[in-house]
A = this chain, B = another copy of it.
Amino acid sequence: MDLDAIMRRWELEQLFTDYVHCLDADELERWPDFFTEDCFYRITSAENYEASLPLGLIYATSRNMLKDRVSALREANIYEPQRYRHLVSSIKVLKDEGARLDLAANFLVVRTMQEGDMTLFAAGRYLDQVRRDDGTWKFARKNVVLDSRQIDTLLAIPI
């Protein structure tokens, strides 16, 4: 591993760090900026992922769809006030094509409701593809693969 490889690893760590701080701070308007224009995003269960079922709980095929989703969330405002706290660990490069990388990472999300109730909300893997875009890495594909199929049907905020 040379200096270039180490620098790239830091950049990837940084990408996930910025991503989760954006979500945890409820700065959802900035969230689509982590993706390429033609991105693919979905939240699905491990079971469905392994069965290659295409759809997910949340599903988008462009950055504009992500923006629409944020607008809808802000306007509808149906969800009870809550905080997310993401822990990310074990980022791994699965496939390296220079300016395009396949990545896996483990995550865990703790959710805290307005009254203070804290629950282990989600655990699973990110299975992502990142692309170098204008000097920064962006998510071209993000599969949020939840270990559990019992998912809060009011799941509204991105993970």
A residues sitting closer than 8 Å to B (CB atoms) are 1, 3, 6-7, 9-11, 14, 16-18, 20-21, 24, 46, 83, 85-92, 104, 106, 108, 110, 112, 115-120, 123-125, 147-150
A108–B90 contact, CB under 8 A?
no
- Establish whether residues B21 and A104, one from each chain, have CB atoms under 8 Å apart when the complex forms: yes
CB of A116 within 8 A of CB of B16, answer: no
User: Among B86, B116, B118, B120, which residue has its beta carbon within 8 angstroms of that of A90?
Assistant: B86
Q: Which of A46, A123, A149 has the most CB of B within 10 A?
A: A123
CA distance A46 to B112 in the complex (A): 11
Q: What's the nearest-Cβ distance from chain B to residue A86, in Å? A: 6
Closest-CB distance, A104 to chain B (whole angstroms): 6
Q: How far is the CA of A31 from the CA of B37 in the complex (A)?
A: 39
Residues in B with CB closer than 8 Å to A14 are: 92
In the complex formed, the residue of B with least CB distance to A24 is: B106
B87/A89 in contact, CB under 8 A: yes
Q: Does the CB pair A20–B87 fall under 8 Å?
A: no
Given A88-B90, A110-B120, A112-B148, 16 further pairs, Cβ under 8 A: A6-B7, A6-B10, A20-B89, A21-B104, A85-B108, A85-B123, A85-B124, A85-B125, A86-B90, A87-B87, A87-B89, A87-B108, A110-B147, A117-B150, A118-B147, A118-B150
